[in-house]
Amino acid sequence: MKARVLLIIFIISLFGALLILKVFFSKITDFSTFALGTETVTYWAKDSNENLIHISAIDSVGNNSIINSWTQSGQKNVLLVLGNSQTHSINQKNINEVTFVEMLNKRIDKYYVIANTYPNASLQDFLISYKYWMTVLPVKAVVIPLFLDDMREANGISYDFYPKLVDKNFSFEENDNILLRKLNISFSSLREKKIGLDDSKHNEKLSTQDIVEKYLNTQLDNNWTVWNNRKNAQGILFGKLYELRNTIFNIKATTVRRMIPDKYVDNMTALDLIISDVQKNGIKLFLYVPPIRNDAEKPYDPKEYRLFKSQILDILNKYPNTVYFKDYDKIIPSKYFGHKASTSLGKQTEELDFMHFQYTGHRILSDSLAVFLLNNGIR
């Protein structure tokens, strides 16, 4: 091909690429709720003063909101609720409908209920959250749902969930556990990535390139909408790849996903670490197997689900007076669960949503948890 023709092609390609970015990727999409589907929305609980008590990412804003809310409410002891998107979502939400976290906050007098939840959170995420909130608030009770979905495969930590912890050099002081060492390494590697281009693990001085690059990107983000569309395009492209995978391999919400042994073991270890820590600190721990819809085959291998429950009981037997446990997997009737859009390419049909339920489901869960907590000294 002649050089001049090739050069013209390059120039047209550049303008073509920018045009595609401008035309097809300008609609802002909230990727944090991408997997929830259209029926389910997120809801962040508030206390009776309309102060925020439920956050996802531990960043400066979220952290300060929770601490302000707690201060204004009279600095009571804290009941910390951890969880995943089930805790912060409502299916087919109507006006004034709230999550079980908000209901608990209003029902429980002597403790101030706060919540910290992430989509697909693992027990390792819960361990980090728990350890963090312990250091900033007088946490005296913790509620943790045990989702097999996330325990069997979720692993690692994400900067999006803990920006404040990464920035503040968070690490576990105990160094005698392989998992804690692994999490510490993850934190330091996130920190290195955050520092960015600088190779200096031990010298956090920014290079000229870091400064210039940051300046250029900020200027372009603020002043050129096409450049700003890039994040959107990244999310959409990955979403399409995910749908393509599901289409090719016929993966649906009902597809049984297998347990990944080492990730499961790591999450069980995280649970063990939480339990031994609450025991050491005199904190009450409330565990529950969360509600799941029961009108279809669960996307779990039945053998693995049974094993999971029996292993939880084994752990509980090790700590009889510290940990309280309930199995809520059938407490919410299936009619209160919803649907979500198909996650395969081009399909208009809806799929069953096993995880997220309607307001009534939140009310049922709140009632059950309230009794459970009350019976064990949390009023």
Partner 1 sequence: MIFNSLTFLIFLFLVFIIFWSLNHRWKNIFLLVVSCVFYGFWRWEYLIVMFVSALTDYYTSLMIYNTPESNRKKRRLLLFVTLSVNLGMLFYFKYLYFVLDNSNSILALFNIDYRFTLYHILLPFGISFYTFETISYTVDVYRGVVKPKKNFLNYALFITFFPKLVAGPIQRASELIPQFTQNYRIDMEGVAHGLKRIIYGLFLKVVVADNLAGFVDDAYAMNYSMASAIDVFTLAFLFGFQIYFDFSAYSHIAIGTARLFNIQIPENFDFPYMTRSLKGFWKRWHISLSAWIRDYLYLPISGVRVTSSSGKSGIGVALDKNRNQRSTFALFVTWAIMGFWHGANWTFLFWGLYHASFIYIERKLAPVRASSAFFRMRLVNWGITLIVAMLSWIPFRTKTLSETFTLYGRLFNYKNYNYLSLRENAYIVCFCLLLFIVLAYAFNKYVEKNLERYTALNYAFSLVKYTVMVFLIVVFLRPITQFIYFQF
Q: What kind and span of H or E run contains 148?
A: helix 148-151
CA 47/CA 35 separation, integer angstroms: 27
Residue from 35, 41, 134, 220 touching partner 1 (CB under 8 A): that is 220
Residue from 21, 137, 180, 355 touching partner 1 (CB under 8 A): that is 21
Are 160 and 167 in contact, with CB atoms under 8 Å apart? no
Give min distance, CB of 109 to partner 1, in A. 43
Site for partner 1 in 283-342 (CB under 8 A): none
Q: What kind and span of H or E run contains 5?
A: helix 3-24
**Quick one: which segment of 81-89, 254-262, 302-310, 311-319 binds partner 1 (CB under 8 A)?**
254-262
Residue from 4, 27, 280, 303 touching partner 1 (CB under 8 A): that is 4
For position 344 contacting partner 1 by CB under 8 A, the verdict is no
Q: Considering only CA atoms, which of 52, 97, 39 is closest in space to residue 341? A: 39
Strands (E) located in 290-369: 323-327, 337-341, 350-357
Give min distance, CB of 195 to partner 1, in A. 11
For position 156 contacting partner 1 by CB under 8 A, the verdict is yes
3-state helix, strand, coil in the chain (%, to 5): 50, 15, 35
Give min distance, CB of 217 to partner 1, in A. 7
The distance from CA 48 to its chain's CA centroid, rounded to whole angstroms, is: 25
Give min distance, CB of 169 to partner 1, in A. 16
Which is closer to partner 1, CB of 197 or CB of 374? 197
Q: Considering only CA atoms, which of 99, 102, 126, 98 is closest in space to residue 112? A: 102
Unique residue bearing structure tokens 């042994």: 261
Which is closer to partner 1, CB of 12 or CB of 136? 12
Q: Considering only CA atoms, which of 181, 116, 111, 122 is closest in space to residue 147? A: 122
Single-letter residue type at 249: F
Site for partner 1 in 233-252 (CB under 8 A): 233-234, 237, 245, 249
For position 225 contacting partner 1 by CB under 8 A, the verdict is no
Which is closer to partner 1, CB of 74 or CB of 261? 261
CA 315/CA 151 separation, integer angstroms: 15
Binding mask 157-196 for partner 1 (x = CB under 8 A): -------------------------x---x------x--x
Give min distance, CB of 338 to partner 1, in A. 26
DSSP structure string for 186-227: HHHHHHHHHH-S---SS--PPPHHHHHHHHHHHHHHHH-HHH
Q: Considering only CA atoms, which of 51, 100, 90 is closest in space to residue 363? A: 100
For position 255 contacting partner 1 by CB under 8 A, the verdict is no
Residue from 23, 28, 61, 265 touching partner 1 (CB under 8 A): that is 265
For position 7 contacting partner 1 by CB under 8 A, the verdict is yes
Which is closer to partner 1, CB of 14 or CB of 313? 14
Rule CB under 8 A: which residues touch partner 1?
A: 1, 3-7, 9-10, 12-14, 16-18, 20-21, 153, 155-156, 182, 186, 193, 196-197, 199-203, 207-209, 212-213, 216-217, 220, 230, 233-234, 237, 245, 249, 258, 260-263, 265-266
